[in-house]
Amino acid sequence: MEKICVTSQGNTLDSNVDPRFGRCQCFIIVDTDTLEFEAVENPNISSGGGAGIISGQLVSSKGVKVVITGNVGPNAFQTLQAAGITVITGVSGIVKEAVEKYKKGELSSTQGPSVDKKFGMS
């Protein structure tokens, strides 16, 4: 089995992918084999600063190997990279479809942050 994390605007597999990482509404942690999932409400949405860093720690502590999202900032990217987590950005649509695409190998990892600091603040 492989555990991956998709940032989500809601708490189900039918929710939309959240374009933000650090300040997304919800982290959907999915087992790619069984599609069993855990929805973790993001406690860092209104964090004053460093939301990407602390969210990176959160998903790392859940043991995920891959993060699928819209965008990551530089601090989040650095944290995820240090945690050995593969980052995939530029993903939108329904969470379940994103997981399927990932399983088919249609998504490729990103080698750097896709947005600047504070992107998710607005």
Partner 1 sequence: MIISVASGKGGTGKTTVAVNLALSIPNAQLLDCDVEEPNSHIFIKPNIDNTSPVFIPVPEIDESLCDYCGRCQEVCEYNAIAVLKGAILVFPELCHGCGACSYLCPRKAIKEVNREIGVAETGTKGNLQFGHGRLNIGEAMSPPLIKAVREYSNPVRTVIIDVPPGTSCPVISSIKGSDFCVLVTEPTPFGLNDLILAVEVLRKLDIPFGVVINRSDLGNKDTYEYCAKEKIPIMMEIPFKKEIAVLYSTGIAFTEQMPEYKKEFLGMYKNILTKVKKP
Of the two residues 13 and 80, which places its CB atom closer to partner 1 in the complex? Answer: 80
How many C-beta neighbours within 10 Å does residue 32 have? 16
Q: Could you tell me which residues come within 8 angstroms of residue 16 by beta carbon, excluding any fewer than 6 positions away? A: 8, 9, 10, 92, 93, 94, 95
Least separation, in Å, of the C-beta of 94 and partner 1?
A: 30
Of the two residues 39 and 58, which places its CB atom closer to partner 1 in the complex? Answer: 58
Residue 30 host element (H or E): strand 26-31
Query: Among candidates 104, 102, 59, 99, which has minimal Cα distance to 82?
Result: 59
Of the two residues 30 and 51, which places its CB atom closer to partner 1 in the complex? Answer: 51
Give residues in contact with partner 1 (CB under 8 A).
47-51, 53-54, 56-57, 60, 75, 78-79, 82-84
Least separation, in Å, of the C-beta of 86 and partner 1?
A: 14
Least separation, in Å, of the C-beta of 82 and partner 1?
A: 4
Least separation, in Å, of the C-beta of 57 and partner 1?
A: 5
